[in-house]
Structure 1
Amino acid sequence: MASTDVILVGADGSTESLAAVAWAADRAVRTGARLHIICTYALASYSAAALDGGYAVLDDEALRQGAQQVVDEAIAHARARGDVRVGGSIEPGDPAAVLVEMSREVGMIVVGSRGGGGFADRLLGTVSSALPAHSKCPVVVVPRRTSGKAFTPVERIVVGTDGSDVASSALHRAIDEAILWKADLTAVSAIPIASGGGMMSWLPTSVDRDALFKEVRQGLNAAVDKALDGRDVEVARHVLDGNPSSLLIEFSTAVDLVVVGTRGRGGFAGVLLGSTSQMVLSHSTCPVMVVPSAHKDRAPDPGARWERR
């Protein structure tokens, strides 16, 4: 990754968004990337706050000042993580729309989620999965931490793949992250046969399930070898029977980062197109990186807004 790359972090003043800032800052320290923190705000048709039993209209300046305080706190939090170049700004508008637009200019976006109204939760609510589905760069969603273990350093990564060409974007990025963090990497493909209500339980009994697993395993090996492109990285490979989202959530309890793609022919890469995306991102106990199709690392124009702020 180029040293001029930018990691964009959405902050809203919550503890969870500060966890996202910490994750992004730790990664920026390793890559030399520039960190840019934003807080969005919007002035409703009329907004009011209780004041001595009555109401006082909140003006735009009050909202701007509140957003700026959020950014200032997040910048201080990032600087406390180490030697990192960090700036920030406040941006009027809808969080998802603002971040999707900015995703064209940055290398990564990081947001926090607390499962109850945080920055990422707003993105996954009324605007559905707008950011993960439409971002032009990878998006990392950092969940609420439920155990004593920190999310960084990243020591174990799992990447879900369905063998499609599009899923190779997630594979390539997972390998890059494994190299960056010096982490163990596992690539997994799911075959949702499962006895009972599995998505492929309709298969006739004459179908050789062992042959099916062998075919998927061969496809997984070919996809991983192609993504490695000669790089000396050990990648564990597993083909499992189960629901893709359920398997990802289960893996998230044992790894530090889950990597998936946004589009594919089903399986892991197709997980993030519908309601299942909210299940994975809402219930994962570790950060999830969502990699858009055909993503390529790119450094922003040195003259772009990030260098001027």
Structure 2
Amino acid sequence: MGAQEMHPDPERDGAGTPAAPGGIVVGVDGSDHGQCALVWAAREAERRRRPLHIVTAYSVPIFAASGLDGGYATVDDSVIREGAEAVLQQAVDKVSGYNIDVDASVENGDASGVLLELSETAELLVVGTRGRGGFVGRLLGSVSSALPAHAKCPTVTVPLICADRLGETTDDKRIRAEQAKAGHKPVENVVVVGVDGSEQARVAVLEAASQAERIGATLRVLCAVPQYSGSLAWVPAPMDRKALLADIQVQLDAGMAWLKSHYPALPMEAELRDGSPVDALVEASRHVELVVVGTRGRGGFTGMLLGSTSAGVLHHAKSPVLVVPDREDPRLADRANFGPILGAA
């Protein structure tokens, strides 16, 4: 078993920022959601043979005084910090059985800001989709949506409905009812990645292939083509949708040939669907290990850091979701050698 260490006051550099953790960073807050994220992160750290850094963050509430003298009053910092340290120790104890090196720290500050700062040096960030509200919380509010949109490294969000597949339990009646409705169909050893012809999607495909290879899973490349929206009302004549889908299939096949050249031993398959990308990916998430998306694709404006498809999948997925930020990858350079590129002019 690896080293288990807790650092309530981590080393800081001259600027006062947390020391670089490296490896996999997971945010915890003591909630069931945080516990699911913790277990998933520990398993991933063990698979990757990377250290796990557990972090919890807290802010000291400030209240406006209503007395004659006015001003502001703050809650005792030590009480809140002791609670945060207890949450952290519980998390360290929970992963003690994994063969990984563990480091842990309590940070004073906004959870989003703390985790985004750590993303600059982390290999992967992991959070639950909802927490207590004070630490790594708020259902896709500030933390779970801010991380995928702005993090410098890939981010995984783990929904509470995954508790049973991770060997966890929850008292959340809504989640338990949803789990019962879903039944006990075995989870397929499959990683699904959504593509739309954008450069961001190709970066996500490469990351998904690496993850599938790491866990010994099949990679399923999913391309869903939505119906025309009102924004295409200017099209002068009806487009032949059957011909369009056939053209996309040719380009998708070329993309699969390119991917196979970089991952020759990886089992992979492609699926072209007629319909909503969000619906297709959410449906796929019900019984697969992981869904992978880019931060944004062709549907978003340049300034939209988290596209509508990625955001929709994060809100409704039934499996962990890996969001891959846009970045350079030298393997993209030879894509054109394998045939027409999906969505290219």
Q: 1:300 — aligned with what?
A: none
Q: 1:71 — aligned with what?
A: 88
Q: Which stretches of structure 1, 4 residues or longer, exceed 3 Å deviation after superposition?
A: 114-121, 146-154, 197-206, 227-230, 274-279
Change (3 A) 1:180 1:108: same
> Does residue 9 in structure 1 map to residue 1 in structure 2?
no
Q: 1:262 — aligned with what?
A: 295
Q: In the TM superposition, what is the alpha-carbon distance from 1:208 to its structure 2 partner?
A: 1.8
Change (3 A) 1:127 1:33: closer
**Identity percentage of aligned residues:** 41
What TM-score do you get using the length of structure 2 for normalisation?
0.72
Change (3 A) 1:90 1:128: closer
Q: In the TM superposition, what is the alpha-carbon distance from 1:169 to its structure 2 partner?
A: 1.2
1:217 to 204, 225, 249: 249
> Does residue 90 in structure 1 map to residue 122 in structure 2?
no
Q: Given that residues 34 and 131 in structure 2 are in contact (C-alpha distance below 8 angstroms), is that contact kept between their aligned partners in structure 1?
A: no
1:249 to 282, 285, 291: 282
> Does residue 160 in structure 1 map to residue 177 in structure 2?
no
> Is there any run of 5+ residues in structure 1 with no aligned partner, and where?
49-55, 297-309
> Does residue 105 in structure 1 map to residue 139 in structure 2?
no
1:23 to 40, 60, 82: 40
In terms of Rg, which structure is larger?
2
> Does residue 191 in structure 1 map to residue 233 in structure 2?
no
Letter in 2 for 1:251: A
Q: Give the match's secondary structure for 1:167.
A: helix
Q: Give the match's secondary structure for 2:120.
A: coil
Across the two proteins, how many residue pairs are aligned to each other?
Answer: 282
CA RMSD of aligned residues (A): 3.2
Change (3 A) 1:142 1:128: closer
1:240 to 267, 273, 277: 273
* Distance in 1 (alpha carbons) for counterparts of 2:188 and 2:24: 17
Q: 1:229 — aligned with what?
A: 261
* Distance in 2 (alpha carbons) for counterparts of 1:284 and 1:172: 21
* Distance in 2 (alpha carbons) for counterparts of 1:59 and 1:283: 38
Q: Give the match's secondary structure for 1:79.
A: coil
- Which of the pair has the greater relative contact order for Cα pairs under 8 Å at 6+ separation? 1
Q: Give the match's secondary structure for 2:221.
A: strand
Q: Given that residues 34 and 84 in structure 1 are in contact (C-alpha distance below 8 angstroms), is that contact kept between their aligned partners in structure 2?
A: yes
1:178 to 205, 208, 212: 212
What TM-score do you get using the length of structure 1 for normalisation?
0.80
> Is there any run of 5+ residues in structure 2 with no aligned partner, and where?
1-20, 66-72, 169-186, 330-345
Letter in 1 for 2:34: S
Change (3 A) 1:90 1:123: farther
Q: In the TM superposition, what is the alpha-carbon distance from 1:233 to its structure 2 partner?
A: 1.3
